Structure 1
Amino acid sequence: MIPRDAPPLQQSPAYGQAMAALGARAHAVGAVHLIERPGLRLIQRATLTLPEARRLARFPGATILTAPLHGPGLLPLVTARHHAEWDLSPPPEALRAGLHGKWRNALRRGEALHLGQDDPRALADLLAREAEQARHRRYRSLPAGFVAHWPGPRLLLHLRHKGGLEAAMLFLIHGGAATYHIGWTSAAGRARQAHRAMLWQAALHLRAAGVRRLDLGPVDSTNPGLARFKLGTGARLTDLGPTSLVLPG
């Protein structure tokens, strides 16, 4: 059973603190955490009812909600997204048994790698590689400054060879949950199954630290290889619901 103190990243106080440091206004209304910018209010992954969402939309500006809610007063803007969430509460031997066969076999090839942990130089390298990767693949993510302002614990695993970064993964920890934030691998790291080794070691480390849910991020049909990688851990799809404009009510 995943504990109640395992909120999604966007509903954690640490997320609000980091966003506030980047210039947004972060506050909570009851148990719901909101991010506000002039004329815009964002409510992401909160557990709330439709009447509660519409009450929150009574304040000036547009209210945008991402949640598995449907009904009058919600105008969908983006279709539902799905994330892969890995339940880390079973014992390690059960977690390993839950890996898909091909995933587990590939992991064996990477388990002998010597992975480093929490090196500032590796983090700087990863952030630079991530920015380059985002430009090349034309996607947008939270700015690098978000990591600099993150007030909570984090886990960085990395692989270096002859002084150069071959692969790295960064996880943000928030209460009894953690979120895969960014990662990068070279062709050499990919061939050595570095990301499988990192994800498995991260799961064990996070579980030992009290984390019971690991959010591996979006599962998208446009990237079937990445979807297989995430779901091969035994993670389950979570419906985040559509992103909607909320009408006041």
Structure 2
Amino acid sequence: MDRFAWQVCAKSARDWEAALEALEPVRAPAFQQGAVYGAIAEAAGRRVARLELRSSGRQIGLVQMIGQAGLWPISRGPVFAPDLTAVQQRAALRALAQRVGVVLATPELPVAGAGLIPLVTSRHQAIWDLSLGPEALRAGLAGKWRNRLSAAERAGLVLCPETDLAGVLEQDRAQQRARGYRALPPGFTRNWSRIAPQDLMALRVETPAGQRIAAGIFLIHGTGASYHIGWSADAGRAGSAHNLMLWQAALQLRARGVRQLDLGAVDGEEGAGRMRFKLGTGARAERLGQTCWVLPG
């Protein structure tokens, strides 16, 4: 069995992001493992720990953990080198628990076996590969999704930058109350905008008459991005404004070097309509690891 030893990583925020990209050049790590997420947690007074795992002089693992009441939760991490087997990843997780204490991990990819006690079943995320060209991306849209996009384009809907971030956050809170779900608090988005304004893209969709009918916020983290907030008025839903916004956002993100767009959860509680909307882009439903209590080993 491989023996793994985690060490504290003192990289700067920029070097941390570069190390993540070098370690996993194909699958963009989730924003929960990124430097901005850690900076937001630190600003809120939380403990943030970053560690690296090396073998034979090669970096094979990175993890960012946000301490909470004596626990070390890991969200969508650690980030491992692609050639590490599931058995090696499990051993590395147990070595991490041996190093830091109580670890509750939700790995990016499924990992199971001895020493990992399941607590919450795994969920699925819609991951849209933006590495293809625009024509191939459009061809990959589901037929009905593409038809709605074309209808929004023919209607003359206009996409433009959103400058009223506070307004979008308030509308999103109202939307959450109406639909009965919860997401990250508005302060998270405000802090992201303050710490890394260049890595937040806010967009709005207007009618030809200038009426605002939809808005969205995207978080950019390395070569990945996440669809963070989406709001739509009744007229926006009727006019397929979100199809236009998401399509144009994907093209803009791709032009910035983003290879992968995380559209969020696509499990039962997400709602069939929203699930079809996300997967209609051609995104694939990827299973995350289950949340587990990691025993030292």
TM-score by length of 1: 0.92
Percent identity, please: 50
Counterpart-to-counterpart distance in 2, 1:164 and 1:34: 43
Give, in angstroms, the shift of residue 159 of structure 1: 2.4
Counterpart-to-counterpart distance in 2, 1:34 and 1:56: 11
Match in the other structure for 1:24: 46
Match in the other structure for 1:218: 265
| Residues 40 and 63 in structure 1, CA contact (< 8 A), matched pair in contact too | yes
Counterpart-to-counterpart distance in 2, 1:70 and 1:143: 31
Greater relative CO, 1 or 2 (CA 8 Å, sep 6+): 1
Match of 1:57, SS state, is helix
Give, in angstroms, the shift of residue 160 of structure 1: 4.4
Q: Name structure 1 gaps, 5 residues minimum.
A: none
Match of 1:107, SS state, is helix
Cα distance change of structure 1 residues 103 and 163 upon mapping to structure 2, 3 Å threshold: closer
The aligned amino acid for 2:162 is: D
Query: Equivalent residues in 2 for 1:1-249 (5 A)?
Result: 3-4=25-26, 6-30=28-52, 31-46=62-77, 47-48=79-80, 49-58=89-98, 62-67=102-107, 68-111=110-153, 112-119=156-163, 121=164, 123-150=165-192, 151-152=195-196, 153-160=199-206, 165-222=212-269, 223-249=271-297
| Residues 19 and 146 in structure 1, CA contact (< 8 A), matched pair in contact too | no
Matched length: 246
Aligned residues: CA RMSD: 1.9
Q: Name structure 2 gaps, 5 residues minimum.
A: 1-23, 53-61, 81-88
Counterpart-to-counterpart distance in 2, 1:70 and 1:55: 15
Give, in angstroms, the shift of residue 133 of structure 1: 2.0
Give, in angstroms, the shift of residue 118 of structure 1: 3.5
Cα distance change of structure 1 residues 139 and 43 upon mapping to structure 2, 3 Å threshold: same
Counterpart-to-counterpart distance in 2, 1:118 and 1:128: 14
Counterpart-to-counterpart distance in 2, 1:132 and 1:61: 39
| Residues 75 and 245 in structure 1, CA contact (< 8 A), matched pair in contact too | yes
Match in the other structure for 2:13: none
TM-score by length of 2: 0.78
